[in-house]
Structure 1
Amino acid sequence: MIDEPMDERDTSALDEEAAREMDGVPEHLRDDGEDDVDESAEEALDDALASLRGDLEAAKQETLYAKAETQNVRRRMEKDVQDARNYAATGFARDILSVADNLGRALDSIPQDLRGDEKLKGFIAGIEATQRELDKVFNQNGITRIAAKGMPLDPNQHQAMLEVPTDEAEPGTVVQEMQAGYMIKDRLLRPAMVGVAKKPE
């Protein structure tokens, strides 16, 4: 027997029967399954997007950290280079201070009456010129003498070797300099060795 095509009346009857069966079923449960598939796909897509956003944020943070570390390394290198440039002569300068000390002692030891002696004038002038030239070289390299006599004692620049009882200066004032002190730029090269005033007993 050959099946006859279903007419429109039969189709509408089936639709009415299906509608009666769905009566009493909540709307969100009236589903043929296609919406579940769509929601699962959307959830998977949302999860993938959230994961990508997390990865992107982590990559941004790592990039920022790497950039900050690079800047810190560059600053440290620039400071090291600057320090090397500024203080390269420190060792040599510390060694040459003894030459400056000896020149100063030589000039200080010349009696006043010999300074007018014609035979010694050239010799004394030569020592004084050498001392001036040495001071000029020191200044060119940022080496300066520390002010001491008459200044309040500064433990960062002065080394107190003895106390001198006196009424002529306030206690704690430098009244005697036994050895000159020097700075190179803003660093101490050698402290000044000094005598400090104290109240007489």
Structure 2
Amino acid sequence: MSKAKNGPANGAVKPAETLAEGGAEAAQTGQEPAPDYLDQLLRLKAEFENFRKRVDREKPEFFKLGKVEVLAKLLPLYDLMQRAHHEVQSAHNDTPLAKGMEGIFKEFEKLFKEEGVVVMEPAGKPFDALRHEVFGTVDRDDCEEGCVVDVLQNGFLLQDRVLRTAKVRIARKPKKEDGPGVAGPEVKI
């Protein structure tokens, strides 16, 4: 028993082109081709091509999403390193430990810069609900109502998209007290 040279091995599947040619040969020899199988095969081939194209389009988005998640998880560590950095600078500490912490903080800043992470600087700017989270108000006459006056926790942007909102306090105009003997508006219940 000999195998045909061009025939598939036991259990192997013929490529779509070979099956299509087989259908054409069957039509020439008077045999009826299996249109259902050929149609299913062509549809399956088209579906697979569409799937491959969709995966190629979505792959960068998946990588970007993973990058966003990792960077967001690094933000609390960055906050701690930033506090330590400020403490070391204010204490003028030149110990090897302080220098090591300074080096780690600089590497964090370098990594964030390379990845496009930017620290928001909302102080003195109008409140923006998409970028800021209000954690209180402060009575102030010297700035506009709704202006950010204190930053409690830094916010971060990743290529102009909010990675973490800034936790802020905003200004409000102080309430004016009525003078003695001056009645306020009458309230009816």
Structure 1-normalised TM-score? 0.54
- Mapped contact 2:144–2:172 kept (Cα < 8 A): yes
* Equivalence for 1:48: none
* Equivalence for 2:76: 98
**Corresponding letter in the other structure for 2:74:** I
**Corresponding letter in the other structure for 1:85:** F
* Equivalence for 1:135: 109
- Mapped contact 1:171–1:196 kept (Cα < 8 A): yes
Distance 1:171 1:79, change over 3 A: farther
1:176 aligns with 2:158: no
SS of the residue aligned with 1:89?
helix
Distance 1:81 1:101, change over 3 A: same
**CA-CA distance at 1:169 after TM superposition:** 2.1
* Equivalence for 1:144: 118
* Alpha-carbon distance in structure 1 between the residues aligned to 2:56 and 2:143: 46
**Corresponding letter in the other structure for 1:125:** K
Structure 1: any 5+ residue segments left out of the alignment? 1-66
SS of the residue aligned with 1:188?
strand
Alignment deviations for residues 54-98 of structure 1 (CA, whole Å, 9 cap, x no partner): xxxxxxxxxxxxx9xx99x95x65552232233321221111111
* Equivalence for 1:163: 137
1:84 aligns with 2:62: yes
* Alpha-carbon distance in structure 2 between the residues aligned to 1:189 and 1:161: 18
**Corresponding letter in the other structure for 2:97:** F
- Mapped contact 2:85–2:105 kept (Cα < 8 A): no
Higher helix share: 1
* Alpha-carbon distance in structure 1 between the residues aligned to 2:171 and 2:57: 41
Distance 1:78 1:159, change over 3 A: farther
SS of the residue aligned with 1:170?
coil
SS of the residue aligned with 1:123?
helix
Q: Percent identity?
A: 25
Q: 1:108 aligns with which of 86, 96, 100?
A: 86
- Mapped contact 1:87–1:184 kept (Cα < 8 A): no
* Alpha-carbon distance in structure 2 between the residues aligned to 1:97 and 1:90: 11
Alignment deviations for residues 87-131 of structure 1 (CA, whole Å, 9 cap, x no partner): 32122111111110101122334573x31x5xx454333322211
SS of the residue aligned with 2:124?
coil
